[in-house]
A and B are shown apart, each in its own frame.
Chain A
Amino acid sequence: MLEFLRKLFDTEGFPPRWQCGWAWTSELGWLHIASDVVIWGSYTAIPIVLAIFLTRRKDVPFPRIFWLFVAFIFFCGTTHLIEAIIFWQPVYRLSGLFKFGTAVVSLATVCALIPAMPRALAFRSPDDLEREVDLRTRNLQESEEHQRILMRELDHRVKNNITAIMSLADQTMYSTGELSAFRDAFMGRLAAMARTHDALSASRWSGAKLRQIADLTLTPYTSKNEHPVTFIGGDIRLTPRAASSLCMALHEMATNSVKYGSLSVSGGAISLSWSIDADGIQLHWIERGGPPVEPPERIGFGSTFLRGVIEHDLQGSVELLYPREGFECRMFIPSDQFVASTTIHEEDSESGTPPGRSTP
């Protein structure tokens, strides 16, 4: 071994390639020499460029395999240089050493390359990644836009609500004399608004069931169990707008009933029935068991308000009836104020109806 290394550049016993055999022509010899030198030059330049690339880009996958490429190409190139030199200096030991080096490095490259294949195959192409980035960017933009719309809508609703509450205070103030009467009327109306808001918010503003709205509006005034309340009607789901308006309308009727109607005496009953046809919903509110009814001499704010929310907000109609045995109200809500059942979040909107209160 030591002997081999000591004689690495020793050419004794080997003729230069020009003198090896007798068929060498100048053209054939220089074809070999020139090709070997060009191969060597290229095989040296390629690993240099690759090495510069690898030192600058730290994110290249499989860097160790690339460094093996660098070494393997460099060794390969050097063997070609030695092949050219051998035409004059037959350094076969040096040539053998470099070929051995090339063999080792190329074998190592193969060994490193094979297990890396599945991972390399799993790599996504830049085009693929580009598409993925595009898709995600689009999704992000859409959700930002959605959020912007929601914020705008929220802002709008808040301002509208503030305006409505200011107006409610204003209107209630004109229709009530004393401060305590104002307080009761105003707070009652505000509480009804808040309860509808809760129900609609729970449904993520997809709407609410008519029965649920009726129930949450009447419950505060009938909770003592001394007033039978009957709801008769199928499942109808209202738009948020219709739910709010109907809640305000029913609230007006309930408070009116507490003051003058069937809810003012023990045992007084209320029935609310509804039916649906192609045009819309017909609702019928009937009070029984209260004091004898006289038609009112003047139109109060309550009935104006009731008419306003149904006729103005929903483009519906209201008919107030005063038979002696009890106040009645017929309301019509046009069909564009319902929502399709699939758009309601059932799990949320069901919760407001306690069992046993309503008779279908």
Chain B
Amino acid sequence: MIFITLTDLASGVPSTLSGRRVLLVEDDYLVGVGIKAMLERIGCEVFGPVATVEHAKELIEDEHLDVGVLDINIVGGTSVPIAEMLQSRSRPFFFVSGYQSPADLLPDMLQQTRRLKKPVDEQSLASALNEVMA
């Protein structure tokens, strides 16, 4: 809870993240649990990390998720199909990528989607979450 206050003070946005159900797609386990820990510290309930489109789709079907945090490059391709599924359900999401210019991996429709560059920190995660859910 202290973290939420700190983060929100820093980013200047009121706390809306507590208890949010976040889908986390990241195919590197260590990176994934790191981001998961950060999301949990800012009060989110995290589903994942999942490494494949298949697992992500199962979670989207089964859980009532509020928002998606998606690594662009994942096992067997990109997370574009997951983004499209979230989009079709009017769920906000943003991308996380280690690539400097991941835009060429994305279709036109997703070019404007918010992107965070790795390595991410709690503050940038929190402000990106607030931004896409606003």
Contact = CB atoms under 8 A, between A and B. Distances in A.
Interface of A: 152, 155-160, 162-164, 166-168, 170-171, 174, 245, 305, 308-309, 312-313, 315
Given A156-B73, A156-B97, 9 more contacts: A152-B99, A160-B28, A160-B118, A162-B118, A163-B28, A163-B31, A166-B119, A170-B34, A313-B28
A163 B75 CA distance: 18
A309 B28 CA distance: 8
B32 A312 contact: yes
A255 B29 CA distance: 19
Contacts of A245: 29
A152 B98 CA distance: 9
Contacts of B120: 163
Nearest to B30: A164
B99 A163 contact: no
13 contacts: A156-B99, A157-B98, A159-B98, A163-B98, A163-B119, A167-B30, A167-B33, A171-B37, A174-B37, A308-B30, A308-B32, A312-B29, A315-B52
Given A164-B30, A164-B34, A313 B98 contact: no
A159 B34 contact: no
B27 interface: yes
Given A159-B117, A313-B28, A167 B34 contact: yes
Nearest to A167: B34
Contacts of B52: 315
A167 B99 contact: no
Given A167-B33, A167-B34, A308-B33, A155 B100 contact: yes
A170 B37 CA distance: 9
Given A156-B98, A163-B31, A313 B51 contact: yes
A162 B52 CA distance: 22
Interface in B107-128: 117-120
B31 A160 contact: yes
Contacts of B119: 159, 162-163, 166
B29 A313 contact: yes
B82 to A, nearest CB: 16
Contacts of B37: 167, 170-171, 174
A166 B32 CA distance: 11
Contacts of B29: 245, 305, 308-309, 312-313
Nearest to B101: A152
A312 B98 contact: no
B68 interface: no
Nearest to B38: A170
A336 B121 CA distance: 33
Contact of B31 (A152, A158, A164, A305): A164
Of B30, B31, B101, B120, the most chain A CB neighbours within 10 A belong to B30
Contacts of A315: 51-52, 75
B40 to A, nearest CB: 11
Nearest to B41: A170
B49 interface: yes
A2 B119 CA distance: 99
Contact of B34 (A158, A163, A312): A163
A312 B51 contact: yes
Contacts of A163: 28, 30-31, 34, 98, 118-120
B98 A164 contact: no
A160 to B, nearest CB: 5
A163 B52 CA distance: 20
Contacts of A160: 28, 31, 98, 118
A155 B101 CA distance: 11
A180 B73 CA distance: 36
Contacts of B31: 160, 163-164, 167
Contacts of B28: 160, 163-164, 313
7 residue pairs, one from A and one from B, having the closest CB atoms: A167-B34, A159-B98, A308-B29, A163-B119, A164-B30, A156-B98, A312-B29
B99 A171 contact: no
Nearest to A168: B30
Nearest to A156: B98
